[in-house]
């Protein structure tokens, strides 16, 4: 079965998390990779945004301890407006969500708005062949 975990792990590794970084992830899914993120450096603060209420609920339930310790937070969003203040995040990641972005330039502008001036963004996505077997993805990818 094809999945995002390998791409997600490489993205986390390559973003270069540092102590006290504020990390935003767009499209966290179940966030099974949260413990790995929090192990990359000390005092990382993770914020996850998701358009799927099912994935938001699952991540929130699976990571109650990290939420209680204020290491992580999960929020639903509309896929366009990032509900955070300007220049808050040191790093921003998103893996295989680009296909679902309704307005790519507008969301990129939002990403830039919430990123600190010296921040770093990693938007990782597979080419069409990766999801070619899945009709839903095929339709979305062709429209990008």
**What CATH number is attached to the domain comprising 47?**
3.40.50.150
CA distance 108 to 97: 12
Residue 54: closest CA among 78, 84, 76: 76
| pLDDT (0 to 100) of residue 132 | 53
Total number of domains constituting the chain:
1
Q: Is residue 137 part of a domain?
A: no
Q: Mean of the pLDDT values across residues 84-89?
A: 98
Q: Nearest 5°: phi and psi at 5?
A: -60, -45
Residue 108: closest CA among 96, 121, 124: 121
% of the chain exceeding 90 in pLDDT:
78
Kindly report whether the global pTM for this prediction surpasses the value 0.85: yes
Q: Is residue 130 part of a domain?
A: no
Q: Is residue 112 part of a domain?
A: yes
List the structure tokens of 130: 């990766």
| pLDDT (0 to 100) of residue 4 | 74
């Amino acid at each position: 079965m094809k999945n995002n975990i390998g791409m997600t792990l490489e993205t986390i590794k390559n973003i270069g998390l540092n102590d006290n970084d504020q990390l935003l992830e767009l499209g966290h899914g179940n966030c099974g990779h949260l413990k790995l993120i929090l192990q990359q450096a000390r005092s990382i603060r993770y914020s996850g945004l998701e358009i799927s209420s099912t994935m938001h609920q699952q991540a929130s339930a699976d990571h109650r301890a990290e939420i209680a310790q204020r290491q992580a937070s999960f929020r639903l969003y509309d896929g366009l407006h990032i509900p955070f203040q300007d220049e808050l995040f040191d790093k921003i990641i998103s893996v295989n969500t680009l296909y679902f972005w309704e307005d790519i330039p507008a969301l990129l502008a939002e990403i830039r708005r919430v990123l600190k001036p010296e921040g770093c963004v990693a938007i990782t996505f597979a080419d069409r062949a990766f999801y070619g077997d899945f009709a839903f993805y095929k339709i979305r990818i062709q429209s990008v």
